Structure 1
Amino acid sequence: MTEPLDPLPAGPARPRLEVGRLWAGGVATAVVAALLALVGVLIVRAVLRIAVYAPAGAGAFGDSRTVVLCLVSAAAAIAAAGLLHLLLVAAPRPLTYFSWIVGLLTAAAAVIPFTYSAGLAVAFAQGIIHLVVGAAIGSLLSGAAANATRPMHVPQGRFEVDEYRE
């Protein structure tokens, strides 16, 4: 008769990714990013009276360039969710890498309007909109990742199989 094996000690916690929760957070982040871009344009055009993404006569919502900004913001959020998924599956310290990547891309997006805008006020307003959208994408997806990963205990040690006896 074989003696029962002692239960194996719990190994280090390894995160288990709940993909549905991660991508639900990614889609919600895309909606928030698009709405933030729209609200940013509305504030700048209607309150500050700075003609961003359209001539001054185009009204508070601007023109098709505002729609493009909202769609690009949503697409950036979806792309960031895909990057985050990849990092969570394959990279050590995924949230650290994600934060750096999103932070650097957000900084670049905030500076780009200064390279092509006609006026400093327009460039500053566009840069602030890009900065707020990028910060929202980074923070919301980091929170979604933290919520979508749960610790999973993996037993360690040698597994033994009882010998077959007749």
Structure 2
Amino acid sequence: MLDRREHHRTALEPPDTVILPYTAADEPADRPEPGRAPVASRLWAGGAATALVAGLLAVVGILLARGVLGIAVLAPDGAGAWGDADTTGYPLVAAGCAFVATALAQLLLSTTPDALRFFTRIALLVTAITAVLPLSLDVPAPSRVTTAVLNVAIGIAITVSLRGVLRRSTTWGPRRTGRRTP
């Protein structure tokens, strides 16, 4: 009868090699699985910075369109370079979209293989939707096109920024699963 320390040798094994049988009892209960582990604090700090960038980009876009180009975006012509109270909501919505995108990124990191690729595709499709929506409004063509271009710029800024945040807010290393695998 074979002892645990002995094993039949094959032609491929060197003569002094001893192979011990593997049992599930030898495995720790908290066996780490290799992969990417998200660091939530980095992700949300990057998401907050992205929200600030998106809001400021909306402000710059509105001021450029209304003040420099003279295109009535998000408010009537006589409302000045900034517009009216409705214009204030646009940067806030842009910042809110960045936070929603950050939440989506965290969900995808936790549940999806290749989260970065899926996040990018989803974010770009949402950006495409926000570009097409203003084109269907019943307002002058320059306002529609300018709003669509501004939406695309904000969407791309959010997508590119959060892609970098996703890459830097995950670490290679073990993830504790709490399950036993032989």
- CA offset digits 1:19-50 (Å, max 9, x no partner): 10000000111111111011000000111110
Residue in 1 that maps onto 2:38: 17
2:116 partner letter: L
Q: How far has the Cα of 1:119 moved from its partner?
A: 1.3
Counting only pairs closer than 5 Å after superposition, residues 3-152 of structure 1 correspond to structure 2 as: 13-152=34-173
Is the helix fraction higher in 1 or 2? 1
- CA offset digits 1:104-161 (Å, max 9, x no partner): 000010111111141111100000010000001101111001000111057xxx99xx
Q: How far has the Cα of 1:12 moved from its partner?
A: 7.7
TM-score relative to the length of structure 1 = 0.84
Determine the C-alpha separation between the residues in 2 that align with 1:24 and 1:126. 28
Determine the C-alpha separation between the residues in 2 that align with 1:66 and 1:133. 15
- Which structure 1 residue ranges, 5 or more long, are not aligned? 6-10, 160-166
**Identity rate, percent:** 40
Contact 2:123 2:155 (8 Å CA) reproduced: yes
What secondary structure is seen at the aligned counterpart in 2 of 1:152? strand
Determine the C-alpha separation between the residues in 1 that align with 2:116 and 2:53. 20
1:65 partner letter: D
What secondary structure is seen at the aligned counterpart in 2 of 1:151? strand
Larger radius of gyration: 2
Determine the C-alpha separation between the residues in 1 that align with 2:158 and 2:71. 25
TM-score relative to the length of structure 2 = 0.77
What is the number of equivalent residue pairs in this alignment?
150
2:134 partner letter: P
RMSD: 2.3
What secondary structure is seen at the aligned counterpart in 2 of 1:54? coil
Contact 2:37 2:174 (8 Å CA) reproduced: no
- Could you list the runs of 4 or more consecutive aligned residues of structure 1 that deviate by over 6 angstroms after TM superposition? none
